Amino acid sequence: MNDLICVGSIAGSYGVRGEVRLKSFCAIPEDIEAYSPLTDENGKERYPLVLTRPIKNGFAARLGGVETKEQADAINGLRLYARRDQLPSLPDDEFYHTDLIGLEVYDTGGTLLGRVKSVQNHGAADLLELHGPGLKSTVLLPFTLEAVPTVDLDKGRIVADPPEGLI
């Protein structure tokens, strides 16, 4: 398992004094501030974070080392990570997206369907993006209890019961 979990991203500058637009991926969006300092994907750059106010689709925030609009524009798209040990423990039926990526997906009969390439959410619910040699194209499997009854992180596998006609 990866020691770093993506908890947010920078969506551009906010104003002219170095604030950034921050999108939080936390279940309770404000909690992202409690995990400060956050890091980049490699864990090398550290960013102290202070939320300044809620704005549409996220927060205005101050990041350590970002003082001007130009600096804020330069880090647009930066994904921010927290260490796994900083984050709360999850119940048995909840998972961090990073833990699902790369897992093999089998149907209820034991046939390999593919591997999870990404976890997406377009507003309604999470979708597992599956790729594999037996699939003609990308398959988006709803990540619901009905479609995905079993996730076994220890064995690195998911058992799925995809809706009729999906695969």
For the domain covering 4-86, report its CATH number.
2.40.30.60
Quote the CA–CA distance of 46 and 69 in Å, as a whole number: 19
Q: Hey, which residues does 8 pair with through a beta bridge?
A: 24, 80
- Contact (Cβ atoms closer than 8 angstroms) between residue 113 and residue 31: no
Pinpoint the residues of the chain covered by CATH 2.40.30.60: 4-86
Whole-prediction pTM value?
A: 0.77
Quote the CA–CA distance of 113 and 125 in Å, as a whole number: 21
Pinpoint the residues of the chain covered by CATH 2.30.30.240: 97-160
For the domain covering 97-160, report its CATH number.
2.30.30.240
Alpha helices per DSSP H over the chain? 69-74, 97-100
What's the confidence (pLDDT) of residue 137? 87
- Spell out the residues 6+ positions from residue 56 whose beta carbon is closer than 8 angstroms to its own: none
Query: What string of pLDDT tens digits covers the 167 residues of the chain?
Result: 568 999 999 999 999 999 999 999 998 999 999 999 999 999 899 999 999 999 998 999 999 999 999 999 999 999 999 999 999 888 888 888 889 999 999 999 999 999 999 998 877 788 999 998 878 888 999 999 999 999 998 899 999 999 888 87
- Contact (Cβ atoms closer than 8 angstroms) between residue 33 and residue 50: yes
